[in-house]
Structures are given as C-alpha cells and as structure tokens.
C-alpha cells in the first residue's frame, strides 16, 4: 500500500476516516477518492416500450388503451402527453395527458420526436 501525503505540507502524518483524509501536522482535510460516494444519487435510466431512453421534458405517446382506475376516463392509443418528469418508483413518468395529471409506467408509452 502506498503512503498518503498531505497535498499542502507534503508530510505523511495522515489520518484516514470513512470519507476524508486529515493531515495531523497542518490540519488540512480532503476527500477520499478511493471510496465510492453512496450519498451521490444514482443516475435513473428510464426506457420506453421500444428501448428509447426517456429524459425530463420529453413528450410521450400511449401505445395501448389504458383505463384510469377510479374514473371512467380511458387513455387511448396515440394520446400525447405534455412534457414529462422522470421519478423514482413503479410509475416512472409523471405528466399531463388529456388535461389530467397522471403517473405512468414507461412500458405503455413511446417517445415522440417534437
């Protein structure tokens, strides 16, 4: 294992903690680069029914008729959304379609080129 030296004073009296290094001599602290940061959010990748990657602001189109639970409304195949938002969870897409704010599963839509 290589010894770690302080970038400021170049001495190797360095304490190691979970996320940082600290120089005992001068007190300088710096982030560890050899440890992955679990706090960093993982990139959420959402794909439509055809494998196209969806991003914030894309417009999607229904590929299958879907009845909205609790209402008599049916989203027809071919209905287009307003710009979408990507979110965590089972229903990855949040958007407005036919004047209704809804959450959709990506498997029922396809990306539309504006």
Q: Which of 63, 69, 62 is nearest to 98 (CA)?
A: 62
- What's the DSSP call for residue 106? G
**Residues of the domain holding 5:** 1-38
CATH of the domain at 11: 2.20.25
Domain count, the chain: 2
CATH no. for residue 97?
A: 2.30.30.40
> What percentage of the chain reaches a pLDDT higher than 70?
90
Is this model's pTM higher than 0.85 or not? no
Tell me, yes or no, whether 33 and 50 share the same domain.
no
Question: In the structure encoding, which two tokens stand for residue 56, read together?
Answer: 């914030």
Each residue of 16-34: pLDDT tens digit? 988 899 999 998 999 888 7
Asked whether residue 34 falls in the same domain as residue 59, the answer is no
Most confident of 30-34, 69-73, 82-86: 82-86
Q: When comparing pLDDT for 58 and 34, which is higher?
A: 58
Residue 40: pLDDT over 70:
no
Asked whether residue 31 falls in the same domain as residue 52, the answer is no
Q: Which long-range contacts (CB under 8 A, 24 or more apart) does 1-10 make?
A: none
């Amino acid at each position: 294992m290589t010894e770690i030296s302080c970038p400021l004073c170049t001495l190797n009296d360095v304490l190691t903690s979970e996320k940082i290094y600290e120089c005992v001599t001068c007190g300088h602290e710096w982030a560890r680069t050899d440890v992955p940061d679990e706090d960093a959010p993982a990139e959420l990748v959402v794909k439509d029914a055809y494998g196209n990657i969806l991003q914030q602001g894309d417009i999607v189109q229904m590929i299958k008729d879907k009845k909205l639970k609790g209402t008599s409304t049916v989203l027809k195949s071919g209905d287009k959304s307003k710009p979408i938002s990507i979110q965590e969870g089972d229903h990855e897409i949040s958007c407005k379609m036919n004047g209704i704010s809804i959450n959709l599963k990506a498997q029922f839509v396809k990306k539309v080129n504006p």
